[in-house]
Amino acid sequence: MPAPPVGRTPSNGGPVPDVNDAMCPSRAILEHITSRWGVLVLAALLDRSYRFSELRRQVGGVSEKMLAQTLQTLERDGFVDRDAKPVIPPRVDYALTPLGREAAEQVWSLARWSERQVDTVREARAAYDEARA
């Protein structure tokens, strides 16, 4: 299937609703699950559910802001289930929904494929860089 044609390219000037979001909703979904932290969060939750801080430790290097943002996006899309327990101190557990598990498995499979190609790709890059040095 050919790529979806995009009508206009926003001439620089006005706040334009994301062209691809409007034109191609699936692009937004794909972006959410393949985003830098999205991949790692989904992968972590593939094992078991996590609390916020647990997840933050499990996914190394993510800021609170980005983790919260990533989780909200995934929750809104219906990939992650948020279970906030009304206790003090607050306790919130995050888990995959069935749909989220489907997504996680696929994206994780792609991630593992990428990992397997690391050496091949490194060689390709070396050859490419060599050819124009």
Partner DNA sequence: CAGTATCCTTCGTGATACTG
Partner DNA sequence: CAGTATCACGAAGGATACTG
* Closest separation in Å from C-beta 26 to a copy of itself: 4
Q: Which does 34 bind (CB under 5 to 8 A by kind): DNA, a copy of itself, none?
A: a copy of itself
* Number of residues near a copy of itself (by CB under 8 A): 58
* Residue 123 near a copy of itself by CB under 8 A: yes
Interacting residues of 73 by C-beta distance below 8 A, sequence separation 6+: 32, 35, 38
Q: Which of residues 40-99 bind DNA (CB under 7 A)?
A: 51-54, 61-66, 68, 71-72, 82, 84, 89-92
Q: Quick check: bond before 89 cis, omega within 30? A: yes
Residue among 93, 75, 95 nearest 33 (CA): 75
